[in-house]
Amino acid sequence: MEDDAPVIYGLEFQARALTPQTAETDAIRFLVGTQSLRYDNQIHIIDFDDENNIINKNVLLHQVGEIWHISTSPADKGVLATCYNKTSDTKVMTCAAVWRMPKELESGSHESPDDSSSNTQTLELLCHLDNTAHGNMACVMWEPMGDGKKIISLADNNILLWDLQESSAKAVLSSSTALEGKGQLKFTSGRWSPHHNCTQIATANDTTVRGWDTRSMRQIYCIENAHGQLVRDLDFNPNKQYYLASCGDDCKVKFWDTRNVTEPVKTLEEHSHWVWNVRYNHSHDQLILTGSSDSRVILSNMVSISSEPFGHMVDDDELSDQEDQHQEEKIKEPLQDSVIATYEEHEDSVYAVEWSSADPWLFASLSYDGRLVINRVPRALKYHILL
Amino acid sequence: MAAATAGSGAGSGAAGSPEATGGSTGGGGWRRPHGPLQRYYGPSTAEAAEAPPDPTDINGPHFDPEVFMTKVRSECPLGQLLAREAALSREIRALDSDMQTLLYENYNKFISATDTIRKMKVDFRHMEAEMDDLAANMAAISASSARVSAALQDRHRRGAQLAGVQALLRKLQALVEVPGRLRRWAGTEPARALRCHARARAVLRHYRHLPSFRAIEDESHAIMAELAQRLRTRLREETLDPKELTECVEMLLQLEEPAEELSEEFLSQAGARLEAELAALEAELPAADLSGTATTPLPPASDILDFVDRGSSAFVGTLCQLAGSYRALFGGDTGRLEPFAAALATRYFALLERRLSLERGLGDTSLLTFFLGCLGDVRQALAAPRPPGKEGPGLPDLLATLAASVLGQLKAVLAYVQLFTARDVAFASLPYFKGEFCVTAVREGLVVAFVRWLCRTARGFADGPAERGAPAAPPALLLLLARLCLDYENSTISYILTLTDEQFPPQDSGPAVTPGPALCAEARAAAQRLLDHYVQVQGAAVAQMLRKSVETRDWLGTVEPRNVRAVMKRVVEDITAIDVQVGQLFEEGVRRAQSSDSSRRAFSVYSSSRAPGRYAPSYTPSAPMDTHLLSNIQKLFSERIDIFSPVEFNKVSVLTGIIKISLKTLLECVRLRTLGRFGLQQVQVDGHYLQLYLWRFASDERVVQGLLDEVAASAAHRCLDPVPMEHSVVELICERG
């Protein structure tokens, strides 16, 4: 079975920020934010035409500064949030804002790429998340499965929960908490758990991973020394509520059961430099994607700790007798966690990997030199999981 | 004869003559091996079927003279006919004369036969009369014989009766004598008495309704009971050796004493005996409470070998003998024997263990403790603060001491254990002991297990819970252990194994042994793991320093650089120290040859010859890939650098690994910052300084160069106002610093 070749798209600037358009479930669309200190920064809306293997892009200007983090509303296709650097001669401040893209770009336009680049459009500012009192914004998280009204931002050592009001034109700080401790504590990243009615988030600072309850804004668990060095990223298993993946500067990816945090459930050591990003596949949580500054993207199959440790379960009533037998045979197959593929299309550090929100078998990775690579899960594995 | 002649005479003309047929079968002879035979004895069946009955064949069964005559007459020329007639008449004459000769001969024979018969007739008449006489005589003889036997019959019967009575009387006599004999033998030869009793018993029991026999039986019973009593008393004596004990019980069994009771008795007797032996063994051990107290335990009274030898020959021998005879005596039911033997054996082993524990320096546990002790010493030596001016013991010395003392201890233990295989020790000569002991116990259990354990312990320092809070092993210890494992792989393992095999030659049929190469591979893996870990730990330490220095500095508002930052000097110092440390234990390694003035190489972020577009991208949206084309092409041709990758066992490789980790960290950290003009210049200065001092440590200075170039490029990218410093100024600052 021949796999499709990866599709590569090059941006003219360095880039770190990548996100799928979360609210879009039909078209494959990614947003990339660039980093340039001397030119106007851009947000590239990348449409991928799966059938023809063609990329369509639209460019939006983001003039306020270079983008360090980008996230999209789970409810409104046109709304997104960025964390950007505001630089003056003596100071750099990372701020966050919520934006709306022009209406016609929400669902992608079908202009040819050449045309779209000539008439670049601008984002419409909805509101700033005022952080003057809180410090630099590390990331903005939208409430998963929510109505796009609640966001949490991490600013230095503060967790800020905002309510977006008046159709996102106003952001009201509804609650906040600060992480206290000796030394200068700074959150590096965080994720909002889709479980427990979206009342939990996890954050990373230095080598520690912490869980928080968003109702009380209290810490609910703490994994001290989760990694030997800095923790770079986290992700929640979308199907198993207590499972959490983390990655960091010790080149490892660790999987945790938040009910027992003394030891990781599993550890992966495949990368040869810092792991910047870890992502669970949204539907098949055995598929783990990691991006690293060794310029590689690795797709792993962690069957043994997934929600489908015995393969895809078919409901009983859907099974005829014959299928029943087939099912039993499948269950007997030994399970093995393994690296499925190592993607080496990048030549610089990969700072972001993301699964598509529309196609569970497709993912994008972004390296610092502005190269965006779209890859698919190998077909053999896809059919193995599905059938 | 006539036929043949006739055949040959007529054959020249007759196509169907036998000669011709014979010739044709002769031609077909090759087909059947028995062809010649058939030709001799007549036409084959096949031939007979082939050829129709030939009436002209003079020898054939279907010969018809009329047809033949007609044929001859009609076919043969006259000359031939005449010749044939002459031949025939010649033949007839010869036959006539032959017939006459025969007739005369027969007549003569007939005459002589007639004479003989006449003579025989006269002789037979005489013989008939003599035969009649003989018959009469025989009749007279048989009559007198019958008379004699009739007269003797009665007397013969009486004789037989008397003989029967005498036999019975003899038996009775024996029976009557039984008590006496029993009494006589009971004292001296109980076994004989038993045999005698066994023989008589059945008869006595059968005839017990007769008073006299009952008396005999009662008496013999009484004697036997007495005997049994005596035997029992004897059984309870303590001086019986196992053989006597067995005999005794065997006799009692023959006396139909209850087996159940006897087996108990037997076991208790045997138990007492074995207890005594155990007690004797125990007496040689110092009392248990004594060995527990702080006072020095008394030196064991006897040599350990003696002890084990005696134990195995006396106690184990007796136990086996007793168990064997128990089986023989009481059949297959071993329900009682097993717990009995098990209990005793357990006690024996406990004693043996106690005895062995008195021997210091024996067994692998002490070896392990010793090794750990050595490691502790080394660790302490490494951690001890060095008085200024006075160098502590160097790593090579520590390594040598460690290796030598471990090896010495191992040898000492081996030498000690070897005593067990000395020739004069009885159990050492048992074949199964030798094989088991040499291979399983010493080679596998002691030597191989020790090496494995050593590798595992060493690995433990690398895999250990270093990042989960436990105090991590000092890097120098990792390095030391890596070297130790490597030495083991290179030479020590094979040396130890050779030594062991010499001292404890493995048996041919012994169990499989772990081959040396497998152990070596384990040691190598451990060494590799340790060295990788060392690189990671040291790299992480340097990287941490760099990361903190980049993260905490305000790169925007910094002033113009006048010095190399202190942290860079510290990095160079640390790496130099690591270089010294590694150099003490590992070889130099191969460095890719480079021009000698590498240190002079310009570290310039803006050297115009190098990818000018890379650092000042022009905004050209229509051609997205253009700006990075040059740098991408450059990357295409440079090898991908794996940062945390396994290193080789040499100094250069180790140092290269550490430098790679450090510089990659610097690169990633710089990319996360925003720099002002002077920030960029500071990075430039720092980079040049690192370049000046680090290239000599790396195996390939291009790696250092490449990484530092990337740092510079990234710094330029992250700079708001990228104005580089003059190269000469950079050099000046670095030289001054």
User: Which pLDDT tens digit goes with each residue over B183-222?
Assistant: 777 767 777 777 777 777 777 777 777 777 777 778 877 8
Q: Give the residue from A110, A105, A112, A56 showing the smallest Cα distance to A80.
A: A105
Highest mean pLDDT among B168-182, B217-231, B447-461, B568-582: B568-582
Pairing of β A54-62 and β A66-72: unpaired
What SS3 class is residue B498?
helix
What pLDDT score does B21 carry?
A: 42
CA distance B489 to chain A (A): 27
Which position has the higher pLDDT, B422 or A77? A77
Which position has the higher pLDDT, B698 or B237? B698
Taking only the tens place, the pLDDT of each residue in B638-681 is 556 666 677 778 888 888 888 888 888 888 888 888 888 888 88
Q: How confident is the model at residue B619 (pLDDT cuts 50, 70, 90)?
A: very low
Mean pLDDT across B110-116: 87
Which position has the higher pLDDT, B464 or A216? A216
- What's the rounded Cα separation, in Å, for the pair A254 and A379? 27
pLDDT at B88 over 60: yes
Q: Rg for chain B (alpha carbons), in Å?
A: 61
Question: What's the whole-model pTM score?
Answer: 0.65
Q: Looking at the partner chain, which of B540, B557, B718 has a beta carbon nearest the beta carbon of A37? A: B718
The residues pairing with A159 across neighbouring beta strands, listed in sequence order, are A154, A177
> Alpha helix (H) ranges present in chain A?
103-106, 113-118, 321-332, 379-386
> Alpha helix (H) ranges present in A75-155?
103-106, 113-118
pLDDT at B416 over 50: yes
Dihedral in degrees, nearest 10, Cα atoms B290, B296, B301, B304: 100
- What's the rounded Cα separation, in Å, for the pair A316 and B412? 69
Measured distance between the N- and C-terminal CA atoms of chain A, rounded to whole angstroms? 15
Rounded to the nearest integer, the mean pLDDT of chain B is: 73
Q: Any idea which of B84-98, B531-545, B550-564 has the lowest mean pLDDT?
A: B550-564
Mean pLDDT across B344-356: 78
0.95 surpassed by complex ipTM: no
- What's the rounded Cα separation, in Å, for the pair A118 and A103? 18
What pLDDT score does B534 carry?
A: 87
What pLDDT score does B87 carry?
A: 92
CA distance B386 to chain A (A): 30
- The reply to whether residue B643 touches residue A228, judged by beta carbons under 8 angstroms, is no
**One-letter identity of residue A301:** N
Task: Please tell me if residue B43 touches chain A, with a CB cutoff of 8 Å.
Answer: no
Q: How confident is the model at residue A69 (pLDDT cuts 50, 70, 90)?
A: very high
Q: At what angle do helices B701-717 and B651-671 cross, to 10 degrees?
A: 10
What pLDDT score does A178 carry?
A: 87
Q: Any idea which of A103-107, A383-387, B124-128, B640-644 has the lowest mean pLDDT?
A: B640-644
Taking only the tens place, the pLDDT of each residue in B312-322 is 777 777 777 77
Taking only the tens place, the pLDDT of each residue in B235-263 is 777 666 777 777 777 777 777 777 777 77
Cβ partners under 8 Å of residue B611, min gap 6: B630, B631, B634
Query: Helix %, strand %, coil % for chain B, to 5?
Result: 75, 0, 25
**One-letter identity of residue B674:** T
- What's the rounded Cα separation, in Å, for the pair A147 and A75? 5
Residue B477 burial by Cβ neighbours in a 10 Å radius (0-12, 13-18, 19+): buried
- The reply to whether residue A12 touches residue B617, judged by beta carbons under 8 angstroms, is yes
What pLDDT score does B216 carry?
A: 78
What pLDDT score does A315 carry?
A: 47
Taking only the tens place, the pLDDT of each residue in A215-238 is 888 899 999 888 888 899 999 999
Which position has the higher pLDDT, A113 or B606? A113
Cβ partners under 8 Å of residue A44, min gap 6: A11, A31, A32, A34, A57, A58, A59, A60, A372
Pairing of β A187-192 and β A170-178: unpaired
Q: From the centroid of its chain, how far is CA B696?
A: 54
In B631-650, the residues whose Cβ lies within 8 Å of chain A are 631-632, 635-636, 640, 642-645
Q: Any idea which of A146-150, A187-191, A374-378, B436-440 has the lowest mean pLDDT?
A: B436-440
Please report, for chain A, the start and end positions of each structural domain, with discontinuous segments joined by +.
1-178
Class of domain A1-178: mainly beta
Q: How confident is the model at residue B599 (pLDDT cuts 50, 70, 90)?
A: very low
- What's the rounded Cα separation, in Å, for the pair B480 and B482? 5
Task: Please tell me if residue B548 touches chain A, with a CB cutoff of 8 Å.
Answer: no
Q: How confident is the model at residue B425 (pLDDT cuts 50, 70, 90)?
A: low
Which position has the higher pLDDT, B558 or B165? B165
Taking only the tens place, the pLDDT of each residue in A90-134 is 788 888 999 988 887 777 655 544 444 456 778 888 888 888 788
Q: Which residues of chain A are within 8 Å of residue B540 when distances are taken between CB atoms? A: 228-229
Report how far apart, in Å, the C-alpha atoms of B87 and of each of A297, B2, B91, B93 are.
127, 10, 6, 10
Q: How confident is the model at residue A1 (pLDDT cuts 50, 70, 90)?
A: very low
Q: Rg for chain A (alpha carbons), in Å?
A: 21
Taking only the tens place, the pLDDT of each residue in B253-300 is 777 777 777 777 777 777 777 787 778 777 776 654 444 333 344 444
Q: Do A89 and B556 contact (CB within 8 A), yes or no?
A: yes
Task: Please tell me if residue A89 touches chain B, with a CB cutoff of 8 Å.
Answer: yes
Considering only the C-alpha atoms of chain B, give the largest distance between any 2 of them, rounded to a whole number of Å: 177
